[in-house]
Amino acid sequence: MALPTLALPGTLLGPASKYAPGPGTHIHDASIYASIVGTVASSPSPNTTTTKLPLLSISRPGDAGPTDSANILPEVDSQVLARVTRLGARFASAEILVIAPANATSISADAAVCSTPFTAQIRREDIRATEKDKVTVQDSFRVGDLIRAVVISLGDQGGYYLSTAKNELGVVVARGEGGEVLVPVSWREVKDLRTGRGEARKVAKPF
């Protein structure tokens, strides 16, 4: 059966034995149906170890560019860029601004900018992987820092839970009191180049 080019919700796309369901589709009675309005695309399976079936997906006609993303939510294991909004004794609050696609390993050009920021929390024990009991929130982040983090849980009613417990996760842009950009000098310190004054941060490893 040939695939239709355009699909509406409820359009039969093909049997689930011949295709794998991708974004914008769902399975009902062992067949794949469309669940949004858009153009149908069939691509070879991105993960050939688990399945060899071609992936059927539907893209919304509006979002041609990667920046348009009214319809993206943080998922567990997705990398995000967030801004620190508040520091507490046991956790730091942040707002998620940019979300990388779920299967991407890093934030690149196809990351999506959130239409509304999502509130998130970084608990003290999730800031770094080692010597967790010695971590203090104050010495890891400051309000206004941009951080790269990974979502570890959808959390409770309050917000998503983020973690920076990896080398490549942590503060990516830090600013001093005067607004000047601080430069990382080690994995736990940033420095103002002009004055030479250092501040403590959990710094993300540069690529």
CA geometry: angle at 173 spanning 171 and 175, to 5°?
A: 110
Identify which of residues 58 and 190 has a Cβ nearer to other proteins in the complex: 58
Q: How far is the CB of 105 from other proteins (least distance, A)?
A: 23
Minimum distance of other proteins from residue 172's CB (angstroms): 23
CB of 153 vs other proteins, minimal distance in Å? 11
Closer to other proteins by CB, 39 or 42: give it. 39
Q: Which residues bind other proteins (CB under 8 A)?
A: 6, 8-12, 24, 26, 28, 33, 35-39, 60-62, 64, 70-71, 73, 115-116, 118-119, 154-158, 160
Length of the chain: 207
| Least distance to other proteins, CB of residue 162, Å | 14
* Shortest Cβ 83–other proteins spacing (Å): 15
Nearer to other proteins, 11 or 45 (CB): 11
Name which of 20 and 171 has its Cβ closer to other proteins.
20
HEC string of 11-48 equals CEEEECCCCEECCCEEEECCEEEECCCEEEEEECCCCC
Q: Are 142 and 84 in contact (CB under 8 A)?
A: yes
Contact 194, 176 (CB under 8 A): no
CB of 71 to other proteins, least distance (A): 5
Whichever of 110 and 180 has its CB closer to other proteins, that residue is: 110
By C-beta, is 10 or 144 nearer to other proteins?
A: 10
